[in-house]
Amino acid sequence: MQQYINIYRRLLKINFAELLAYRANFISHLISSCCWTLFQIIWINLLTYKNQSIFGWKKEDLIILTISYVILSGFHHCFLSKNFRELAKIIDYGQLDSYLVKPVDEQFLLSLTKVEYSQLARFLLGTVALIVTLSKFQIYPSLIQILSYIFLMGFGLVTIYSIWLLLSSLMIWYPQINNLVGFLFDLTGVSRYPKEMILKTNNYAIFFFLPITLIAAAPSRYLFNKAITGDTFLLVLECGVLFIISRLFWKFSLRFYTSAS
Amino acid sequence: MSIIQVENLSKSFKSYKKAPGLIGSFKSFFKRKYYEKKAVNNISFNIEEGELIGFIGPNGAGKTTTLKCLSGLIYPTSGKVSVLGYNPFERKSDFLKQISLVMGQKNQLWWDLPPMETFLLNKEIYGVNNKDFEDNLEELAELMEVKDVLNVQVRKLSLGQRMKCELISQMIHKPKVLFLDEPTIGLDVVMQQRLRKFIRTYNQRYHATIILTSHYMEDVEALCKRVIIIDYGKKIYDGELTTIAQKFSQHKIITIVFNKQIVRKDIENLGVVKFFDFPKAAILVKREEANKILSQILNEFPVADINIQEQDIQKIIREIFTSGII
Amino acid sequence: MRALRIFLLHCQRIFEYRLKSFIWFLAPLMNSIFLIVFWRAALNGKSTVTGWTMSDMTAYYLLLAVASTFLNSHVEDGVADEDIRQGDLARFLLKPISYYWIKFCEETPYRLLQCVYGIIFVLISTLVWGNFLKFSLSIENTILFIMIVVLAYFISFTYKLSLGLTAFWFKDAKGLHSALDVVALIFGGAILPIQLFPDYLQKIAYLTPFPYIIYYPITAFQNKYSINILFQIIGFQFFWLSIMLIFNRVLWNKGIKIFTAAGR
């Protein structure tokens, strides 16, 4: 609806104004996001330092997988993640009411109000690292493959959002667990590992994490030309299912909040 | 049809108790005891358009809970609520665009930016068109006397200016029904008076319905003709402020100015002497006997001026709460 | 006595936050589990070049989960945000116990609780995955191991406290903290044992204090060192602890002048 587009345009402007008002903070966060991007790149390079091929994935494929995760997290941290940290504070300080009394879907406001432009550095650095890695290992994906990659990354992003929303709704039931968001960062980090790694262990407890492993892996496969249609389809399906379930559970949690306050 | 209709509203909450000390914490680690608390207990009232009503009650009486039920934030345990013809709990967009709930102490303004930015955001959220936005802002800013700080960073504003801008940001859509929860809390006397003036003007000029909860009797005395007293979740009075004294107070005060010297002891048998500083004195007497004692004083003492008054409203209300009259 | 009371008060708060404490523990737990799974799949029964078997790796990451929750102090946020920026520091200045020890007594109960979670986790995982943690330390080695852990805790605490004190000068040090966190994670052995790093990176790691906070306590427990090496490690830990304490003193003395001069 037009109204929501207007509201979001205004939100993008107001967040940009805030960036300009608090420039030192922006630079500091920019440095921070660059450091964490570098960390991820060093992480995967150290782990694959001595290993050329693991559970069916080549070293360069794993590096591309981690970099795809970095790019996804860039978007996620820029447009979404700060709102979940704010949600913890909003619930804690009893300010949820002021969102519920507005004539606009509160999930929309609570998910999108804050934008951290400094986190786009992850996206930029990640893209550079991706191009460097692709050329270093002489992988040249076609235009269709690149477009498929971008398209699927979109589904991956919505999947991450849905998982965060689903678990963050628990904060309404247990307001004291405002450190849940920190845990969610690590949970999302599981998408750096491909599902083949988990399947290989035969440890049924971990199978629970399989849906997360599709998020970055399914798109990445398009880049090094090993796409599995099954995985692609599963990611799209899981995205839709999780989005609906997360919204339902969010609404259900709100009913609890408004009954118990 | 009344603009606000409340019928047999009740709301209960669950809460748990914890024993103090380290052992208590350890015990609650494993098991918790829950008990039910009735915050609102079978309240009914009707409010007409344009009324300015005060909810009075001690802390935890159920005022805020009632207000939250009226604005759709809390789902009632039982009873019916209708505001502007809507069921508030359905939280329909058209309903929410016509109301505003202002709870003191909450911060909606973006700290590092001028209040104008937040106003523009709320403009989009409430779907106010450009012309209405400019008009509303102009009027509200003038009423609140903050026209020159609209483009100054919120962090640089004084507490008073900030509170005014918070209020404007939550009223930029010119709500028809306004719920104000403790609006003057934490403000100095001057600010309180200005805020009261604003509320009164808003009510008169736009015929807006306003419900106000406050601890400060001055707010209620200055603004509200009709008050609803809530204690322990129950409505114990619904009517004019002026008749509270008649209903609840069993005493009246007789103030006297003597024109010839008398001693305090002389009037002590008439009633409780509240104040004696020649030539002025004030005695507390029983309501039924007031007239009789008045003529007695006129007959027996040299009086220059005499007056019968109701007890101070604040005292009466305090007595209602401390003695638990239901 | 007063210190004990502060300590117990914070122990009490912990029980009230059982769910919250558990979630704090979940992050390092997940990291460790997935890294173990990664190496299982990668090693496929073989050993790595420097003689780390799969059982060594599993033990390493399990111990990492315990070590990183117990030994990684988080005192810097409270110090920077609440005490210095919001000015709460003022009330500590009037107390007869030094700020260092007050913060120590506030922080330690939380760390101990995390340690308890860690130990429970390790016990459960030995049931699930089999007994990877062979406690094969001799009595002398055990005593030295305990010393290494205690020193590591103090180095970590002092370092983080000093980091928090930089808030006297910097309004927003997130960039600096992140850079240091990244370095601490890498050189503390949170990704993989330092022994498995490329040579040039290993040399750099040993020049920093970070291996002495996480890596050495873990590998000492794994009985990877002779008594001589253990003494060397302890020696270096004393060195780093002294540096941290001096740094802390300097920051405190200079910073407190700014703080009180600003009259916050």
> Half-sphere exposure of B76 toward its Cβ, with a 13 Å CA cutoff?
27
Q: Is C192 helix (H, G, I), strand (E, B) or coil?
A: coil
Q: Please judge whether C174 and A47 are an interchain contact, meaning their C-beta atoms are less than 8 angstroms apart.
A: no
- The span from the CA of A231 to the CA of A195, in Å, is 10
Among B246, B253, B263, smallest CA distance to B283 is for B253
Q: Is B151 helix (H, G, I), strand (E, B) or coil?
A: coil
Give the residue-averaged pLDDT of C55-82.
86
Q: Mean pLDDT lowest for which of A134-143, B279-288, C158-167, C174-183?
A: B279-288
Query: Contact at 8 Å (CB) between B281 and B275?
Result: yes
Q: What is the pLDDT of residues A31-68, one digit of tens each?
A: 999 999 999 999 999 999 887 788 888 899 999 999 99
Q: Please judge whether C41 and A54 are an interchain contact, meaning their C-beta atoms are less than 8 angstroms apart.
A: yes
Highest mean predicted confidence (pLDDT) among A10-14, A252-256, C222-226, C253-257: A10-14
- The span from the CA of B286 to the CA of B264, in Å, is 19
Query: Contact at 8 Å (CB) between B53 and B226?
Result: yes
Instruction: Look at residue A11 in the predicted model and tell me its pLDDT.
Output: 96
Residue A259 burial (10 A CB sphere; 0-12, 13-18, 19+)? middle
Catalogue the long-range contacts made by A206-210 (C-beta closer than 8 Å, 24 or more residues apart).
A206/C33, A206/C37
With a CB cutoff of 8 Å and minimum separation 6, the contacts of C149 are C71, C217
pLDDT of residue B238 exceeding 50, the answer is yes
Chain C residues with beta carbon closer than 8 angstroms to that of B22 = 8, 11-12, 15
Q: What is the pLDDT of residues A99-156, one digit of tens each?
A: 999 999 999 999 999 999 999 999 999 999 999 999 999 989 999 999 999 999 999 9
- The span from the CA of C24 to the CA of C14, in Å, is 12
Q: Does B108 touch chain A (CB under 8 A)?
A: yes
Tell me how close the Cα of B298 comes to any Cα of chain A, in angstroms.
60
Write the residue in A18, A95, A103 that is nearest to B110 by C-beta: A18
Instruction: Look at residue B308 in the predicted model and tell me its pLDDT.
Output: 86
Give the residue-averaged pLDDT of C128-152.
82
Instruction: Look at residue C16 in the predicted model and tell me its pLDDT.
Output: 59
- Identify the helix (H) or strand (E) that includes residue A61: helix A59-76
Instruction: Look at residue B270 in the predicted model and tell me its pLDDT.
Output: 80
Query: Contact at 8 Å (CB) between B274 and B283?
Result: yes
H-state helical runs in chain C: 2-16, 18-43, 54-71, 75-77, 89-93, 99-129, 139-165, 174-187, 199-206, 215-221, 227-262
- The span from the CA of B289 to the CA of B250, in Å, is 10
Chain A residues with beta carbon closer than 8 angstroms to that of B87 = none
Q: Helix, strand, coil % (nearest 5) of chain B? A: 40, 30, 30
pLDDT-based confidence at B326, cuts 50/70/90?
very low
Chain B residues with beta carbon closer than 8 angstroms to that of A3 = 124, 127
Q: In what order do the strands lie in the sheet with B177-181?
A: B99-103, B177-181, B209-213, B52-56, B226-231, B234-240
Write the residue in A14, A21, A101 that is nearest to B101 by C-beta: A101
Q: What's the topology of domain B250-310? A: Alpha-Beta Plaits (3.30.70)
pLDDT of residue B221 exceeding 70, the answer is yes
DSSP class of residue B86 equals: B
Domain assignments of chain C as residue spans, ordered by start: 2-255
- The span from the CA of B25 to the CA of B30, in Å, is 9
Percent of chain A at pLDDT > 70 equals 99
pLDDT of residue B210 exceeding 90, the answer is yes
Q: Please judge whether C12 and B29 are an interchain contact, meaning their C-beta atoms are less than 8 angstroms apart.
A: no
CATH superfamily placement of domain B49-74+88-245: P-loop containing nucleotide triphosphate hydrolases (3.40.50.300)
Domain assignments of chain B as residue spans, ordered by start: 49-74+88-245, 250-310
Instruction: Look at residue B193 in the predicted model and tell me its pLDDT.
Output: 86
Q: For chain C, which residues lie within 8 Å of any Cβ of chain A, measuring from their own Cβ? A: 16-17, 19-20, 23-24, 26-27, 30-31, 33-34, 37-38, 40-42, 48-49, 128, 171-179, 181-182, 185-186, 191-192, 196-198, 201
Instruction: Look at residue A240 in the predicted model and tell me its pLDDT.
Output: 96
Give the residue-averaged pLDDT of C166-173.
83
Percent of chain B at pLDDT > 90 equals 35
Q: How many residues comprise chain A?
A: 261
What's the mean pLDDT when you consider all of chain A? Answer: 91
Instruction: Look at residue C12 in the predicted model and tell me its pLDDT.
Output: 65
Instruction: Look at residue C230 in the predicted model and tell me its pLDDT.
Output: 92
pLDDT of residue B169 exceeding 90, the answer is yes
Burial call A156-179: b when 16+ CB within 10 Å, e when fewer? bbbbbbbbbbbbbbebbeebbbbb
Give the residue-averaged pLDDT of B26-49.
79
Of residues B262 and B15, more confidence is placed in B262
User: What's the first-to-final CA gap in chain B, in angstroms?
Assistant: 30
Q: Does B20 touch chain C (CB under 8 A)?
A: no
Q: Does A201 touch chain C (CB under 8 A)?
A: yes
- The span from the CA of B299 to the CA of B288, in Å, is 19
Chain A residues with beta carbon closer than 8 angstroms to that of B127 = 3, 103
Instruction: Look at residue C161 in the predicted model and tell me its pLDDT.
Output: 92
Instruction: Look at residue A260 in the predicted model and tell me its pLDDT.
Output: 62
Give the residue-averaged pLDDT of B181-193.
82
- Identify the helix (H) or strand (E) that includes residue B177: strand B177-181
Instruction: Look at residue C48 in the predicted model and tell me its pLDDT.
Output: 66
Q: What is the pLDDT of residues C213-261, one digit of tens each?
A: 999 999 999 888 888 999 999 999 999 999 999 999 999 888 888 887 7
- The span from the CA of A196 to the CA of A179, in Å, is 31
Instruction: Look at residue A81 in the predicted model and tell me its pLDDT.
Output: 94
Q: Mean pLDDT lowest for which of B152-166, B190-204, C82-96?
A: C82-96
Chain B residues with beta carbon closer than 8 angstroms to that of A258 = 73-75, 89
- Identify the helix (H) or strand (E) that includes residue B181: strand B177-181
Give the residue-averaged pLDDT of C193-219.
93
Instruction: Look at residue C129 in the predicted model and tell me its pLDDT.
Output: 67
Give the residue-averaged pLDDT of B53-77.
87
ipTM (interface pTM): 0.88
pLDDT of residue C264 exceeding 60, the answer is no
Q: Does A260 touch chain C (CB under 8 A)?
A: no
pLDDT-based confidence at C31, cuts 50/70/90?
confident
- Quickly tell me which residue has 């080549």 as its tokens: A58
pLDDT of residue C8 exceeding 90, the answer is no
Highest mean predicted confidence (pLDDT) among B132-136, B265-269, C64-68: B132-136
pLDDT-based confidence at C79, cuts 50/70/90?
confident
Q: Which residue of B has its CA nearest to C16?
A: B25
Of residues C60 and A224, more confidence is placed in C60
Chain B residues with beta carbon closer than 8 angstroms to that of A260 = 13-14
What's the mean pLDDT when you consider all of chain C? Answer: 85
Q: Answer whether the bond into residue B279 is a cis peptide, omega within 30°.
A: yes
